Amino acid sequence: MDFLPKEIEEYSLAHSAEESELFQNLTRETYDKEDIPRMLSGPMVGNVLQLLVRLIDPKLVLDIGTFTGYSALKIAEAMPDGGIVKTYDIEERELAVKFIADALFGNRIELKIGPALESLSNLNDSVDLVFIDADKTNYLNYYNRSLELLRQGGLIVLDNMLWSGEVLQPKDEDSKAIAETNAFIQSDDRVINQLLPIRDGLMIVQKL
Ligand SMILES: C[S@@+](CC[C@H](N)C(=O)[O-])C[C@H]1O[C@@H](n2cnc3c(N)ncnc32)[C@H](O)[C@@H]1O
């Protein structure tokens, strides 16, 4: 399901911050080389992440689901000096490694390969912002672990929270997991939240 008419989406993109050449190249190479390139989050989500980063000036950000590095690089580009983005994926992708190594701000990114939940269990640092964009069946686990690590006032952003509209009548495992995560967040009095119908649904959560 497309939530926006194509012309409105194009108009919105044409009136938003433009992507640098690095992100245009990363997107092109991802579409040339990856089997499921649409996993790349893209400029709308990327610009929202960058706005949030600039607003909260984070020291430590977690990016759960690296894929070819788009979201990690977007976040890192907007980070203040000394800030770190820890990005997690179960699979190491050549494009992520290459683009992170070549980016001027790539030294702000630490790529950790392995099941993200396991990597998160070894973390004790206070976190300012988390972007959740990995396997959907673990979304609630990622949310709960992120909330434990998050400082008061910190943010969790979850991608694909409308899952092409399938959350309305969830049938498969992934849609059920996302609908369950939405319902859990909605009744969680530790946070305040807004589900934005941007791209495939972006849930923004602030820890109270
Ligand atoms: C939608 S993609 C991430 C897109 C990326 N955030 C971006 O902006 O382009 C989801 C990623 O989650 C990874 N993934 C799936 N299961 C995982 C797990 N258990 N632990 C860590 N990463 C996992 C996949 O390998 C895939 O690269």
- CA 135 to ligand 1 centroid distance, Å: 6
Which residue segment(s) compose the domain that 50 sits in?
Answer: 6-207
Predicted confidence pLDDT, tens digits, the chain (208 residues): 778 899 999 999 999 999 999 999 999 999 999 999 999 999 999 999 999 999 999 999 999 999 999 999 999 999 998 999 999 999 999 999 999 999 999 999 999 999 999 999 999 999 999 999 999 999 999 999 999 999 999 999 999 999 999 999 999 999 999 999 999 999 999 999 999 999 999 999 999 9
Domain presence at residue 1: no
CATH at residue 122: 3.40.50.150
Compute the distance from residue 41 Cα to the ligand 1 centre, in Å: 11
Tell which atom from ligand 1 comes closest to the C-alpha of 40: 9
Number of domains making up the chain: 1
The reply to whether ligand 1 has any atom less than 6 angstroms from the CB of 116 is yes
The radius of gyration of the chain from alpha carbons, rounded to an integer in Å, stands at 16
- Where helices occur in 93-186 by DSSP H, the ranges are 94-102, 116-121, 139-149, 173-186
- Which ligand 1 atom is nearest residue 68's CA? 9
Q: How many whole angstroms from 82 Cα to the centroid of ligand 1?
A: 25
Q: Is residue 124 part of a domain?
A: yes
Q: Is 141 domain-assigned?
A: yes
